[in-house]
Amino acid sequence: MRRIGVVVNPIAGMGGRVGLKGTDGKVAEAQRRGAEPRAPDRAREALEAVDDTDAAVDLLTYGDPMGETVAREAGFDPTVVGEPADPDATTGEDTRSAVRAFVDTGVDVVLFVGGDGTAVDVATAIDGAGSETPMLGVPAGVKVYSSVFGVTPRAAGHIVATFAATERAEVNDIDEDAFRGGEVVTELRAVATVPVADQRQSAKQRGGGSIETLASAVAEEAEPGVTYVLGPGSTVGEIKSRLGFDGTALGVDVWRDGEVVAADASEQEILDALGEENVIVVSPIGGQGFVFGRGNQQLSPAVIRRSSIQVVASSRKLDEIGRLRVDTGDSDLDESLTGWLRVRVGRYQQRLVEVVA
């Protein structure tokens, strides 16, 4: 019987689709912009994957909105080990309290739902309890830079129910204020015990290689009347520069016929700016290979379904990645995006790369 402690950060990822690049200290603003909770659905998907393994599981969780209802909806009868101090305004201390309770009851693994900030809280609580209890994250935050997450919610659920060995992995976090200003400032916050699994995410690495020729070619081939939705990152940033504007380094910009239609746009702003013909231009995250679902949640399923997709990357980055990944939050869309994709790596060159969910 495997004992799994499950804790959900209910506000994780809310800032992504509304263009906030994170939710730390920005919950009220995210809600004002119409953000909807993302973490409960991700938690439910992970727990349904646990159930699908048919493993013998004893599930422990925290009171709503930090796990109880989604656990029951996934078919479990969980033991509730405590309640958040204020269900309407959960905090990192609530997460840490839940994890300490899990460790005290002797769980075999902690499954948390959130982003890097939540990962820091979980690792801190485990370490503070003098424990080496394994932990694994269900990716639900805007920032997912650490190597302590499953590549998708279903992968995370399968891993915690079936893993047979553990290893040590990094927990990283970034300065969200600097991130919103276009600068990535990462910090190693902990080293945690995690399950060994192929479907665990790698830590984000910065890809290398010259992109000037690639960017020039993409910019030169921009067609009149077509709306270009340009994702974050240095590779697409070079394309923005070649189109003649200073793009948002870590945000999504929309460009059409020589003009920026929307800068640092939220999901709704992108949808409002779309035209008859739309092209999303994105580059995978170095080291991880994610095309959608990490740092660009503004490119939501609704945006993707109205657009064609052009993926650009240096050959060096693709060599490091191996495969591309998608995690849009819509399993049907993810499935439709899998398979072999032509990735542009130069003015004329393309490479076939496998896309997996």
Alpha-helical (H) ranges within the chain are 27-32, 39-52, 68-73, 92-104, 116-128, 153-162, 176-180, 212-220, 234-243, 267-273, 301-305, 315-321, 331-337
Domains of the chain: which residue ranges?
2-195, 212-356
pLDDT value, residue 30: 46
The larger pLDDT score, comparing residue 111 to residue 294, is at 111
Tokens standing for residue 133: 């209890």
Q: Looking at 91-105, 143-157, 224-238, 292-306, which range is the least confident one?
A: 143-157
Looking at the predicted structure, is the pLDDT value of residue 302 above 90? yes
pLDDT value, residue 206: 38
Q: How far apart are CA 347 and CA 200, in angstroms?
A: 34
Q: What is the pLDDT of residues 97-107, one digit of tens each?
A: 999 999 999 99
CB within 8 Å of 285: residues ≥ 6 apart: 204, 233, 294, 295
pTM over 0.95: no
Cβ count near 34 (within 10 Å): 11
Length of the chain: 357
Q: At 60, which amino acid appears?
A: L
Work out the pLDDT band at 163, boundaries 50, 70, 90.
Answer: very high
Looking at the predicted structure, is the pLDDT value of residue 155 above 70? yes
67's torsion region: left (phi>0), alpha (psi -120 to 50) or beta? left
Average pLDDT, rounded, for the chain: 88
Provide, rounded to the nearest whole percent, the portion of the chain with pLDDT above 90: 67
Q: How far apart are CA 266 and CA 268, in angstroms?
A: 5
pLDDT value, residue 62: 98
**What is the mean pLDDT of the segment spanning 47-66?**
96
Q: Looking at 46-50, 183-187, 207-211, 343-347, which range is the least confident one?
A: 207-211
Secondary structure (3-state) at 162? helix
Work out the pLDDT band at 20, boundaries 50, 70, 90.
Answer: very low
Residues 112 and 194 sit within 8 Å (Cβ to Cβ): no
pLDDT value, residue 98: 98
Looking at the predicted structure, is the pLDDT value of residue 19 above 50? no
Q: Which CATH superfamily is domain 2-195 in?
A: Probable inorganic polyphosphate/atp-NAD kinase; domain 1 (3.40.50.10330)
Cβ count near 339 (within 10 Å): 10
